Chains A and B, each alone.
Chain A
Amino acid sequence: MIKSNIKLLVLSFLLLISLKPLQSAEMVDPIKVEWSFKGLTGTFDRASLQRGFQVYKEVCASCHSMQYLSYRNLGEPGGPEFSEIEVKAIAASFEIEDGPDDQGEMFTRPGKPSDKFKNPYPNVKAAIAANGGAYPPDMSVLVKARKGGANYIYSVLVGYEDPPPGVTLDDGVYYNKYMIGNKIKMPNNLSDGLVEYSDGTESTVDQMAKDVTTFLAWAAEPELEERHRTGVKVIIYLILLTILVYLSMKKIWSRIDSEI
């Protein structure tokens, strides 16, 4: 009796869930990409991460901050894994404000690996003022902060289109198929051949969008590889212990069952 009831319960619940598509009529589902970091044992593609950092540095970084990342992160395991020398060179290519010095003055110096990523604007209000009233969001955790995650970010990057007839856009507003509400204040900044990849990969819009999205996915979840690795170990361990405890339980309870 209980079993048939549970079946009924599950069925009715599934029916309910299937109503879901009703809600999001206006939104286009983001493109599904087979990311290497998906799945139980997913890891990042190092080369893609390094290219993605290049796209970020050359294209995105002039407007978008990544304030929770430090240059040292670029050399840490599970990330782009630049060599120590490369990380130092990358950091040193930025002028970082430091101070106050012994005279009480602020000064700039070349960046060190321990410095946070340089912010393109001194504060949020300056960023808004410089971008026509829209704040270019900080990209440190952007992938986690958007429904659809990496797929959504990638889709927006490749989703620029001419507006369909009947849609009028204000100055500085662009039409994007995948953006929520379809209107976006960020222009389409990617074009074929925009950056020159040092590893010889052809820099198509699609390639750059994938690379920078991979980079952002790592930035949002730098622990992902360690998490997956630890997780597999933990689950195997737990299953092993569960089997042992199950057998012990059978043994212990057999005393009772044989008594009767």
Chain B
Amino acid sequence: MSKEEKKVNRRDFLFTASYTVGAVGVGAVIWPMIDQMNPDKAQQALATTEVDISNIEPGKSITVLWRGKPVFLKRRTPEEIAEARAVNMDDLPDPQKDEDRVKEGKDEWLVMLGVCTHLGCVPLKDKGDFNGWFCPCHGSHYDVSGRIRKGPAPTNMEIPKFEFVDSNTIKIG
């Protein structure tokens, strides 16, 4: 390697190093500017809601607010549960057993995010072709287990993380 070439190499190395280290710094500065738009610590702390379910009659449902979105809590009758479980999996666009959508031993309680998986509207209860929910925005039909049956929505209504604190209280989140 000639002296000339060595000189060029050192120069190249210096410039590459400067650019690389500089780019790392720019990246490190950009991240806080992006992350500041994510939910802040106060928002994150509000991520759980406790609901009293002692007053809900069989066949009735309530809607509560969790993280700014509606959550449907429905106490289903034995007939409704039977209906949901009798469905042939082949009829479902997004096949999922009703058993997988409720807590074992608490089969009557359906807890799901009341948000249509199409574009985020809130479906109406006891409407539609399948005794479940019907989204008025673009005509998605959900059954009594909250599964999509007809319409543009791609998936079943989402089940949030929840647990039974005691027999009368559900903690969502």
Q: Which of A240, A244, A247, A248 has the most CB of B within 10 A?
A: A244
Q: How far is the CA of A114 from the CA of B67 in the complex (A)?
A: 14
Q: A113-154: which residues lie under 8 A (CB-CB) from chain B?
A: 113-114
Contact of B25 among A76, A114, A237 (CB under 8 A): A237
Q: Beyond A70-B45, A114-B42, is A248–B21 a contact (Cβ under 8 Å)?
A: no
Q: Is the CB of A241 closer than 8 A to any CB of chain B?
A: yes
- Nearest-CB distance from B63 to chain A (Å)? 12
- Judged by DSSP, the binding face of B is helix
Q: Mark B34-62, 1 if CB is under 8 A from A, else 0.
A: 00000001100110000000000000000
Q: Is the CB of B164 closer than 8 A to any CB of chain A?
A: no
Q: How far is the CA of A240 from the CA of B17 in the complex (A)?
A: 11
Q: A87-106: which residues lie under 8 A (CB-CB) from chain B?
A: none
| A241 to chain B: closest residue by CB | B21
Q: B1-20: which residues lie under 8 A (CB-CB) from chain A?
A: 11, 14-15, 17-18
Asked if residues B45 and A114 are in contact (CB atoms below 8 Å), the reply is yes
Q: Is the CB of B22 closer than 8 A to any CB of chain A?
A: yes
Asked if residues B45 and A244 are in contact (CB atoms below 8 Å), the reply is no
Q: How far is the CA of A70 from the CA of B43 in the complex (A)?
A: 12
Contact of A251 among B11, B41, B46 (CB under 8 A): B11
Q: How far is the CA of A259 from the CA of B22 in the complex (A)?
A: 29
Asked if residues B46 and A245 are in contact (CB atoms below 8 Å), the reply is no
For the side of the interface on B, what is the size category?
Answer: 10 to 19
Q: Is the CB of A177 closer than 8 A to any CB of chain B?
A: no
**Chain B residues within an 8 Å CB radius of A248:** 14-15, 18
- Nearest-CB distance from A60 to chain B (Å)? 24
Asked if residues A70 and B22 are in contact (CB atoms below 8 Å), the reply is no
Q: Beyond A247-B14, A248-B15, is A113–B45 a contact (Cβ under 8 Å)?
A: yes
Q: How many A-B residue pairs have CB under 8 A?
A: 31
Q: Is the CB of A51 closer than 8 A to any CB of chain B?
A: no
- Nearest-CB distance from A132 to chain B (Å)? 35
Q: Beyond A70-B45, A114-B46, is A241–B14 a contact (Cβ under 8 Å)?
A: no
**Chain B residues within an 8 Å CB radius of A210:** none
Q: How far is the CA of A70 from the CA of B41 in the complex (A)?
A: 11
| 17 additional contacts (CB under 8 A) given A72-B45, A241-B21 | A70-B42, A70-B45, A72-B41, A76-B41, A113-B45, A114-B42, A114-B46, A237-B24, A237-B25, A237-B28, A238-B25, A241-B18, A244-B14, A244-B18, A244-B21, A245-B18, A248-B14
Q: List 29 A-B contacts (CB under 8 A).
A: A70-B42, A70-B45, A72-B41, A72-B45, A76-B41, A113-B45, A114-B42, A114-B45, A114-B46, A237-B21, A237-B24, A237-B25, A238-B25, A240-B21, A241-B18, A241-B21, A241-B22, A244-B14, A244-B17, A244-B18, A244-B21, A245-B18, A245-B22, A247-B14, A248-B14, A248-B15, A248-B18, A251-B11, A251-B14
9 smallest beta-carbon distances between A and B, as pairs: A114-B45, A244-B18, A248-B18, A72-B45, A248-B14, A241-B21, A114-B46, A251-B11, A244-B17
